[in-house]
């Protein structure tokens, strides 16, 4: 288990270095810079600005300097917000996006798991058909269609919610529901598939023959095996929810990190873009790693292959 964990950790670190390097150099080679704005800046001011941020140094030195400060946990100053560091901006916006992501994932699991289990246990009944159609609908209608439509119906026409904003707890409901439903759909499909496979196996028949109640058969005997496909989907799902929040944050005007990222890219705010990319990468990889470990714990086959 330790070996498995170590090899995955090493792999993630390698990926992280690739990401940092690729993003760093890509940013330097794109046309336009942080100080090319509509109003012309005199060459002298431009030189001073570049000297201030160390942009006049040779590229390899900039790269090493950046890695050095990164090792100390310092993302550097923002190019576009004077007097603010990237650390401050990220610390400001991250909690909002994390709250949105965690709540949405909870919604996805709370809807998706029971629906999938019910569909599998009541296979080929109306329960199954309703649950399966929900899965297909949820997969096919994108968040940027569902979101605005729900705002139109529930917020603007019925007035139950605010159309946008992130102030009171009730403002959380609509965005988290929209993002959560999008992932509840694939989760319910995977749960149903996984449970069906387990429920058809011999040891389930044995359990039933020994008089175990249906509830016990599901909870004690099938759940662990049946949820395996869901666990391996959690890694991609979490990445999807994090990036999916770009759209949600735009629709509902939530002051999270997704909107900030798109803006910073438009502004060529190199340090902020890099900081955001690294943050996303670390988050996604840490959560993927966690999902891998849970999967290995649940499924010895995965553990032994590593």
Partner 1 sequence: MSASVTSPVASPAAAPEEGSSLWHDAWLRLRKNRLAVFGAATLIIVALACFVGPFFSPYGYEEQNLDLGAAGPSAAHWLGSDTLGRDLLVRLLYGGRVSLGVGLAATFVALTIGVVYGAIAGYSGGKRDAVMMRAVDIMYSLPFTIFVILLMVFFGRNIILLFVAIGAVEWLTMARIVRGQVMAVKRMEFIEAARSLGFGRRRIIFRHILPNILGPIIVYTTLTIPGVMLLEAFLSFLGLGVQPPMSSWGVLIKDGAEKMEEFPWLLIFPGTVFSLTLFSLNFLGDGLRDALDVRASKD
| Chain contacts with partner 1 (rule: CB under 8 A) | 11-12, 14-15, 18-19, 22-23, 26-27, 30-32, 136-137, 139-142, 144-145, 147-149, 151-152, 156, 235-236, 239, 242-243, 246-247, 250-251, 261-262, 265-266, 273, 277, 280-281, 284-285, 288
Q: Which is nearer to partner 1, 59 or 219 (CB)?
A: 59
Closer to partner 1 by CB, 102 or 152: give it: 152
Smallest distance from the beta carbon of 36 to partner 1, in angstroms?
A: 13
In sequence order, the 6+-apart residues with CB closer than 8 A to the CB of 202 are none
CB of 113 to partner 1, least distance (A): 20
Contact 28, 264 (CB under 8 A): no
3-state SS, one letter per residue, for 171-191: HHHHHHHHHHHHHHHHHHHHH
Please identify, using beta-carbon distances, which residue of 76 and 252 lies nearer to partner 1. Answer: 252
Give the Cα separation of 34 and 266 in Å (integer): 9
User: To 5 degrees, how large is the angle CA 117–CA 121–CA 124?
Assistant: 115
Closest CB to partner 1 among 14 and 91? 14
Residue 159 Cβ vs partner 1, minimum distance, rounded to whole Å: 13
Q: Give the largest CA-CA distance in the chain.
A: 86
Which residue, 232, 224, 145, is CA-closest to 186? 232
Least spacing, CB of residue 281 vs partner 1, in Å: 6
CA distance 6 to 275: 26
Cβ neighbours of 281 (radius 10 Å): 18
Q: Please measure the distance between the N-terminal and C-terminal CA atoms of the chain and give it in whole angstroms.
A: 9
CB 230 within 8 A of CB 195: no
Place of tokens 């890694």: 235
**Closer residue to partner 1 (CB): 10 or 219:** 10
> What's the closest the beta carbon of residue 48 comes to partner 1, in angstroms?
25
Closest-CA residue to 93 (of 306, 275, 288, 294) = 275
Q: In whole angstroms, how close is the CB of 250 to partner 1 at the nearest point? A: 7
Shortest Cβ distance from residue 283 to partner 1 (Å)?
Answer: 9
Q: Which is nearer to partner 1, 96 or 238 (CB)?
A: 238
Looking at the Cβ atoms of 114 and 236, the one nearer to partner 1 is: 236
Phi, psi at residue 91, to the nearest 5°?
-60, -30
């Amino acid at each position: 288990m330790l070996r498995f964990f170590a090899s995955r950790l090493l792999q993630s670190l390698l990926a992280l270095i690739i990401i940092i390097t690729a993003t760093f150099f890509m940013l330097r080679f794109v046309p336009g810079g942080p100080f090319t704005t509509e109003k012309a800046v005199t060459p002298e001011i431009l030189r001073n600005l570049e000297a201030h941020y160390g942009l006049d140094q040779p590229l390899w030195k900039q790269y090493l300097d950046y890695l050095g400060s990164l090792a100390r946990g310092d993302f550097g100053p923002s190019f576009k917000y004077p007097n603010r560091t990237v650390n401050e901006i990220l610390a400001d916006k991250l909690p909002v996006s994390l709250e949105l992501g965690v709540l949405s994932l909870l919604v996805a699991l709370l809807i998706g798991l029971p629906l999938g289990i019910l569909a599998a246990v009541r296979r080929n009944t109306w329960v199954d058909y309703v649950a399966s159609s929900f899965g297909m609908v949820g997969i096919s209608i994108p968040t940027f269609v569902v979101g605005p439509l729900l705002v139109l119906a529930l917020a603007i026409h019925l007035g139950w919610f605010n159309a946008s904003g992130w102030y009171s707890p009730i403002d959380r409901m609509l965005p988290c529901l929209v993002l959560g439903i999008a992932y509840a759909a694939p989760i319910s499909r995977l749960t149903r598939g996984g449970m069906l496979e387990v429920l058809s196996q011999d040891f389930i028949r044995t359990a039933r023959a020994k008089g175990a109640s249906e509830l016990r058969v599901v909870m004690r005997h099938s759940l662990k095996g049946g949820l395996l496909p869901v666990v391996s989907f959690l890694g991609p799902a979490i990445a999807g929810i994090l990036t999916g929040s770009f759209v949600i944050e735009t629709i509902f005007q939530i002051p999270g990190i997704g909107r900030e990222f798109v803006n910073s890219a438009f502004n060529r705010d190199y340090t902020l873009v890099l900081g955001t990319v690294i943050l996303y990468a670390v988050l996604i990889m840490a959560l993927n790693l966690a999902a891998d470990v849970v999967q290995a714990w649940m499924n010895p086959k995965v553990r032994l292959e590593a």
